[in-house]
């Protein structure tokens, strides 16, 4: 069972938003966008500091809309959300110990989307390191260790996670050595996520049930984005050109963006004054979309307008 209930009102609003987006952006094909939108009707059970037990939280119904939400898409830096939750699980279970360097890497991985920081986090999660190619035997062991994060997510038995792949580092110029061999000749083993899978993970964080309520709140603190301080480089602030770019200044957003020359993505939990909070994950693919800084803010504004109409 998918974690939210399909809803006719949101379906009509969501399809209307997609139609408006296709009309406004002629280069965006119907198979170059995927979207998952979850609305939190009162009584709101999220961002409460983990007031509910996990069972009570998961039993509390929410409604949503999805378009191509089960399609496997290269997630770029959005995968860092999955590494963030996994590290917190490892720390909670005593499988890893915290350190100043790990704390610094987690912050830089989420706040600044640093790939170098992510590299350390993946090494800590898996007990592996990058380097030259390995002989067959050691490489098999290395690959098994690197898939530990996949095994963790499969152990949760969430339907939305059945098809995902989260085992690769994120790169600026691409992988070399054993990392290049691991991603596969045709990149067949690269990270793959769906907007529904990401939505469920973010839902668990904002619900305070990802690992523990205290750890969920610590993760939320890293994901918080200031909308008014856009002094940093526009690509790096993860607001300009992304979902935060379509929000009024008095909105609050917790998010993780991802972009390459081929994709532009964002996953966000958003609170508008006096409105229902909501979760929105939007993926766009294709070179033209990756460059376009207007599509995600356009969709975000329409969703915010739709929320005001509920």
pTM confidence score: 0.97
Residues 231 and 107: beta-carbon distance below 8 Å = no
Query: Mean of the pLDDT values across residues 206-214?
Result: 96
- Least confident range from 133-137, 233-237, 246-250, 282-286: namely 233-237
What is d(CA 117, CA 119) in angstroms, rounded to the nearest whole number?
5
**233 pLDDT more than 80:** no
Determine the pLDDT at residue 234: 61
Residue 229 pLDDT level (bands cut at 50, 70, 90): low
Q: Please, what is the average pLDDT of the chain? A: 96
What is d(CA 271, CA 276) in angstroms, rounded to the nearest whole number?
7
Query: Mean of the pLDDT values across residues 9-32?
Result: 98
User: Structure tokens of 128?
Assistant: 């592996």
Residue 294 pLDDT level (bands cut at 50, 70, 90): very high
**36 pLDDT more than 80:** yes
What is d(CA 97, CA 30) in angstroms, rounded to the nearest whole number?
45
Q: Which residue has the higher pLDDT, 247 or 228?
A: 247
**304 pLDDT more than 60:** yes
Residues 300 and 244: beta-carbon distance below 8 Å = yes
Determine the pLDDT at residue 33: 98
**235 pLDDT more than 90:** no
Q: What percent of the chain has pLDDT over 70?
A: 98
**231 pLDDT more than 60:** no
């Amino acid at each position: 069972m998918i974690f939210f209930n399909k809803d006719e009102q949101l379906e009509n609003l969501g399809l209307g938003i997609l139609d408006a987006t296709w009309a406004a952006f002629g280069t965006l094909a119907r198979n170059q966008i995927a979207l998952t939108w979850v609305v939190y009707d009162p009584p709101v059970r999220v961002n409460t500091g983990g007031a509910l037990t996990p069972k009570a939280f998961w039993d509390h119904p929410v409604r949503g809309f999805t378009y191509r939400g089960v399609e496997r898409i290269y997630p770029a830096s959005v995968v860092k959300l999955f590494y963030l939750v996994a590290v917190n699980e490892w720390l909670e279970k005593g499988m890893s110990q915290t350190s100043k360097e790990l704390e610094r890497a987690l912050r830089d991985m989420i706040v600044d989307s640093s790939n170098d920081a992510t590299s350390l986090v993946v090494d800590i999660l898996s007990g592996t390191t990058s380097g030259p190619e390995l002989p067959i035997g050691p490489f098999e062991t290395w690959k098994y260790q690197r898939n530990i994060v996949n095994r963790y997510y499969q152990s949760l038995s969430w339907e939305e996670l059945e098809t995902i792949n989260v085992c690769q580092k994120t790169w600026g110029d691409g992988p070399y050595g054993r990392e290049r061999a691991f991603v596969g000749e045709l990149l067949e083993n690269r990270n793959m996520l769906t907007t529904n899978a990401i939505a469920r993970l973010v839902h668990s964080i904002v619900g305070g049930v990802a690992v523990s309520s205290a750890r969920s709140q610590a993760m939320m603190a890293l994901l918080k984005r200031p909308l008014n301080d856009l002094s940093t480089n526009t690509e790096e602030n993860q607001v300009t050109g992304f979902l935060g770019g379509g929000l009024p200044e008095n909105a609050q957003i917790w998010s993780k963006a991802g972009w390459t020359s081929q994709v532009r993505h964002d996953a966000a939990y958003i609170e508008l004054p006096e409105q229902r909070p909501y979760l929105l994950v939007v993926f766009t693919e294709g070179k033209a979309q990756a460059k376009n800084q207007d599509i995600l803010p356009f969709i975000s504004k329409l969703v915010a307008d739709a929320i005001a109409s509920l």
